[in-house]
């Protein structure tokens, strides 16, 4: 397809029409020029391909329902996520889909977010690594992805209109890095804009986000598509960088574009650029023949493997794995009615569903397995269900409770109001645990739940997530020890909802939500507050144990552009094979701006047989040590020492090694006439010019206000004068001394600034 030739032959009306969908799931074909339609489908954990792509139907064709993103991230396994992407692409090819709408990489700003199950993590680095694996897997087979929802889309409350008010540094360090990593390293075919506004401008019209950052700064080569129904003003959106509006058809919007070009309001070159981008992706899609079938059995098996890798063992008092029990009471509606995905646009019609109760029965051997529903589908309280469960559990050797957070509490479209299970579920767990100390709770949910009411009463807790259609297999395999759990949390589980970082700024009011917690979300916040949590980021138990030893560095001193590699020996000190996820966090000892106590910057997953030792290497690059400086408008590093924390979780630091970084940046001077004395002394050029004057000022201040006391801090007026002066503008300090100065303070500061700029 000669794109330039096609653009030149297209009429204005055809160009405008191409920039809107022809239907709910298709692009506009231009038959006379040989431009085919392109079909997209909801995702991201399965292909939600509707039978008639020209209608906005909810019923879809059968496809594999893989685990949702919260489970995927808990695997910390990029290679495994890539395999899932490859499988999704195979299903797209068989189901005639050109682009799958995913992955979702928005941050989990609050555990109350209703759509959190579709997102990976509270940490931008981990999220970015997962996204890259997903995109590379799908696109390796000639099928496109749609990175979403760009950007700062972190709640369902007023999601079509609310303005996320976020400062530049927070935007760059928390809410954009996963998008940036995915774009720069994997080049998704499309990026989907969010519904919400960002700092007052709709994401669909956001020139700064779409044109300046995404396309120009990051070099995005594909097209920007709207979330379905996100466009308010089509002409403004085209100017702002939104190429393709969905869903279609949109005849009124098409005419608005035509009229805007003819009136001169819209430069036709802007329209042509969007047309070129759309045609480029349509041409890519056309290269992959959409035909054949996919291996239903193999993909179901892969879904089970992924679910098992993402299971997180939160508590185990020695009860698991289950062995030698003669009677097992399985309690909970989710054991018979598997709760394996969330509500909304990502809802998949599965090819089959593994029933958790049946999977337990198949592995129980000679043991008798009984069942009680335990709780209803709705929010009613049914004491008779609890009584039945108690009776069964009392006579059993062990009770396994399948507890699923129901869709009416967690779904796309609305946020959660609390972190609690239903009143019935809490009462059920407490009642069963009271008569059966050997109780296991299996959770099926997409985000953290509160457990303080009951966790001390049970012997084991397994976080099973929304585990996909084969999750019942994975849970049973973990319970009976066929699989050693190795998943680790990709988000912090707080003790209660009130502890969450965004609590005071959630969900917003008067059309705005203020991101007042800044860069301190997730474990960054809990570290800064020194606040206890239920389970920390990166946490997960195993049926074996691991020892970390012999940490080493590729260099103790290094330049930021060279990076550094940290290595450590990991030994399986238990009696069964297992996998460990080694995490490396970076702690900056001193910085000109406030930084988190530590930040995840590398990880590796290693499989070990009993007694086996493997050496794990984790490379850290420039960005592992950098932070975004809003005044310099770039990522910067500073000379200094950093602690590299080798950890099993954010709260389990096994080793700390120190490195010294030399920054290679030649940053411009930011000093101006309002700069404080502290800022003058912190700037290398400023210190060189102002240092001698500061020494004179210090001596003069001591003489004027009296000699220091014995402790060396207080002057005769009861304060350390120079500390008081440190955060005052230099010009203001000089104003108090102007009678003794040869020139006016403003002239002196202007002279110093001239010296600095010419240095």
Q: Which residues are catalytic?
A: 227
Helices (H), 311-382: 356-363
Round to whole Å and give the CA distance between 527 and 284: 46
Round to whole Å and give the CA distance between 222 and 134: 17
CB half-sphere exposure, 704, CA atoms < 13 A: 13
User: In a 3-state reduction of DSSP, which class is residue 721?
Assistant: helix
* Radius of gyration over every alpha carbon of the chain, rounded to an integer in angstroms: 29
Round to whole Å and give the CA distance between 392 and 388: 6
Nearest to 313 by CA among 139, 481, 96: 481
Q: How many CB atoms lie within 10 A of CB 724?
A: 14
User: Which 8-state DSSP code applies to residue 194?
Assistant: P
The secondary structure of 409-465 as a DSSP string is TSBTTB--S-S---HHHHHHHHHHHHH-SSEEEEEE-SS----TTTGGG-SEEEE--
- Give φ, ψ of 640 to 5 degrees: 150, 180
Round to whole Å and give the CA distance between 408 and 406: 5
Nearest to 341 by CA among 60, 152, 536: 60
Nearest to 569 by CA among 614, 611, 602, 527: 614
Crossing angle of helices 296-310 and 78-94, in 10° steps, is 150
Burial class (CB in 10 A: 0-12, 13-18, 19+), 541: buried
Secondary structure of the chain: what % helix, strand, coil (to 5)? 35, 20, 45
CB 180 within 8 A of CB 217: no
Burial class (CB in 10 A: 0-12, 13-18, 19+), 504: exposed
Residues 6 or more apart whose CB falls under 8 angstroms from that of 272 comprise: 7, 15
Q: What angle do CA 47, 51, 55 make, to 5 degrees?
A: 100
Round to whole Å and give the CA distance between 139 and 187: 9
Round to whole Å and give the CA distance between 725 and 296: 72
Residues 6 or more apart whose CB falls under 8 angstroms from that of 31 comprise: none
Peptide bond into 149 cis (omega under 30): yes
């Amino acid at each position: 397809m000669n794109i330039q030739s096609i653009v030149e032959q297209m009429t204005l009306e055809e160009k405008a029409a191409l920039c809107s969908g022809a239907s709910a799931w298709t692009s506009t074909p231009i038959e006379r020029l040989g431009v085919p339609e392109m079909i997209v489908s909801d995702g991201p954990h399965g292909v939600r391909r509707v039978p008639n792509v020209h209608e906005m139907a909810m019923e879809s064709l059968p496809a594999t329902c893989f685990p949702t993103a919260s489970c995927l991230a808990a695997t910390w396994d990029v290679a495994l996520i890539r395999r899932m992407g490859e499988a999704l692409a195979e299903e797209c090819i068989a189901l005639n889909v050109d682009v799958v709408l995913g992955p979702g990489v928005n941050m989990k700003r609050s555990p109350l977010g209703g759509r959190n199950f579709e997102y990976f993590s509270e940490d931008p680095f981990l999220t970015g690594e997962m996204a890259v694996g997903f995109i590379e897997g799908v696109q390796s087979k000639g099928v496109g992805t749609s990175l979403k929802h760009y950007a700062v889309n972190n709640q369902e409350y007023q999601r079509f209109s609310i303005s996320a008010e976020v400062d530049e540094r927070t935007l760059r360090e928390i809410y954009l890095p996963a998008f940036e990593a995915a774009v720069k390293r994997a080049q998704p075919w499309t990026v989907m804009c969010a519904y919400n506004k960002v700092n007052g401008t709709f994401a669909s019209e956001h020139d700064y986000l779409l044109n300046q950052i995404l396309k120009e700064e990051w070099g995005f080569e594909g097209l920007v598509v709207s979330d379905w129904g996100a466009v308010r003003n089509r002409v403004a959106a085209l100017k702002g960088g939104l190429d393709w509006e969905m869903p279609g058809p949109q005849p009124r919007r098409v005419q608005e574009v035509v009229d805007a070009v003819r009136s001169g309001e819209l430069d036709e070159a802007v329209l042509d650029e969007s047309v070129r981008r759309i045609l480029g992706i349509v041409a890519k899609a056309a290269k992959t023949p959409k035909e054949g079938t996919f291996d239903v059995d193999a993909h179901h098996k892969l879904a089970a493997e992924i679910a098992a890798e993402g299971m997180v063992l939160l508590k185990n008092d020695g009860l698991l794995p289950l062995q030698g029990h003669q009677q097992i009471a399985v309690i909970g509606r989710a054991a018979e009615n598997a709760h394996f995905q969330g509500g909304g646009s990502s809802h998949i019609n599965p090819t089959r569903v593994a029933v958790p109760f049946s999977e337990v029965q198949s592995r129980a051997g000679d043991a008798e397995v009984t069942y009680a529903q335990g709780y209803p589908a709705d929010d009613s309280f049914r004491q008779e269900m609890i009584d039945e469960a108690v009776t069964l559990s009392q006579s059993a050797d062990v009770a396994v409770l399948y507890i699923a957070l129901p869709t009416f509490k967690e779904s796309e479209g609305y946020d959660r109001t609390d972190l609690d299970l239903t009143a019935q579920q809490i009462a059920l767990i407490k009642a069963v645990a009271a008569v059966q100390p050997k109780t296991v709770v299996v959770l099926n949910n997409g985000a953290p739940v509160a457990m303080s009411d009951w966790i001390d009463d049970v012997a084991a807790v397994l976080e099973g997530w929304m585990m996909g259609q084969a999750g019942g297999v994975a849970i049973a395999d973990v319970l009976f020890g066929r699989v050693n759990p190795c998943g680790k949390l990709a988000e912090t589980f707080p003790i209660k909802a009130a502890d969450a970082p965004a609590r005071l700024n959630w969900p917003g009011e008067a059309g705005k939500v203020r991101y007042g917690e800044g860069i301190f979300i997730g474990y960054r916040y809990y570290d800064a507050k020194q606040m206890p949590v239920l389970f920390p980021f990166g946490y997960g138990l195993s049926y074996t144990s691991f020892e970390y030893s012999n940490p080493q560095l590729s260099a103790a001193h290094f330049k930021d552009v060279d990076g550094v590699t940290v290595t450590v020996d990991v030994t399986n000190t238990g009696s069964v094979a297992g996998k460990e996820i080694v995490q490396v966090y970076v702690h900056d000892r001193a910085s000109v701006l406030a930084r988190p106590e530590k930040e995840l910057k590398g990880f590796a997953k290693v499989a070990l047989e009993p007694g086996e030792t493997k050496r794990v290497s984790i490379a850290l690059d420039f960005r592992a040590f950098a932070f975004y400086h809003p005044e310099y408008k770039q990522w910067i590093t500073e000379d200094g020492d950093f602690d590299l924390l080798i950890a099993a979780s954010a709260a389990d630091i096994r080793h700390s090694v120190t490195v010294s970084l030399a920054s290679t940046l030649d940053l411009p001077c930011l000093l101006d006439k309002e700069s404080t004395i502290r800022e003058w002394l912190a700037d290398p050029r400023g210190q060189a010019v102002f240092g001698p004057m500061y020494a004179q000022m210090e001596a003069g201040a001591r003489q004027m206000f009296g000699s220091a006391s014995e402790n060396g801090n207080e002057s005769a007026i009861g304060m350390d004068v120079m500390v008081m002066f440190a955060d005052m503008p230099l010009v203001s300090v000089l104003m108090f001394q102007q009678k003794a100065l040869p020139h006016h303070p403003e002239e002196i500061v202007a002279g110093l600034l001239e010296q600095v700029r010419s240095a």
